[in-house]
Amino acid sequence: MGADTTVLLWLNGFVGRLPWLDRAVSLVVNDYFVPTTLALLMVGLWCSGRSEAQRERGQRAVADAAVGLGLANLALAVSNHFYYRPRPFVEHELQMLFYQPPDSSFPSNPAAVGLALAIGVFLSHRRLGAVMLALAFLWALARVYAGVNFPSDVLAGAAIGALCPLLARGFLRLLEPGPTLVLNIWRRLYLA
């Protein structure tokens, strides 16, 4: 038994022992709580800022995160097309706190999504980005605890999610003045 399986079985072994932890993990692991919270934080960042320069910095951070998310989803789709890894509950007897997804376990989609959004914001807004990173980390850890992903799935997804906003930021800078033009048009339409 490898380290991947050992960590999975150790974490999942706590399921049922601490009901309060199971309830908390059930909230965090679902498909709605963390993604909705991350999206609302990004909407808040898009709309906040005391000056035009602060608003623009926030809006560019949201753009970095959004384009990074798009690149991460593309990388996930390509990976899933060429490689399929069965979910941990298929190979091991686990206590489930979540439904049994039928798609590939590797790489973890939630880890990639959470990290892409969090790193995209963290590049420009350290405090808010740190909050988002904590949420993304909890979401990914909850997936292992709940028996839905192996630790290596989460690590691979996190690597994809961390790299894509960096690529997105560089890509958007190469496209200048296009992104600035789009932001200016959105301002005229009262969308930014």
Domains identified in the chain, total number:
1
26 contact partners, CB below 8 Å, separation of at least 6: 97, 98, 146
**What span, in angstroms and rounded, lies between the C-alpha atoms of 86 and 105?**
6
Q: Domain containing 160 — which CATH number?
A: 1.10.606.20
Task: Say whether pTM exceeds 0.85.
Answer: yes
Q: Is the pLDDT of residue 99 over 90?
A: no
Domain of 26, in residue numbers: 3-188
Could you give the CA distance from residue 24 to residue 135 in angstroms, rounded to a whole number? 13
The pLDDT value recorded for residue 23 is: 94
| pLDDT digits 0-9 by tens, 33-66 | 999 999 999 999 999 989 989 999 999 999 999 9
Q: What percent of the chain has pLDDT over 70?
A: 99
**What are the tokens at 20?**
């309060």
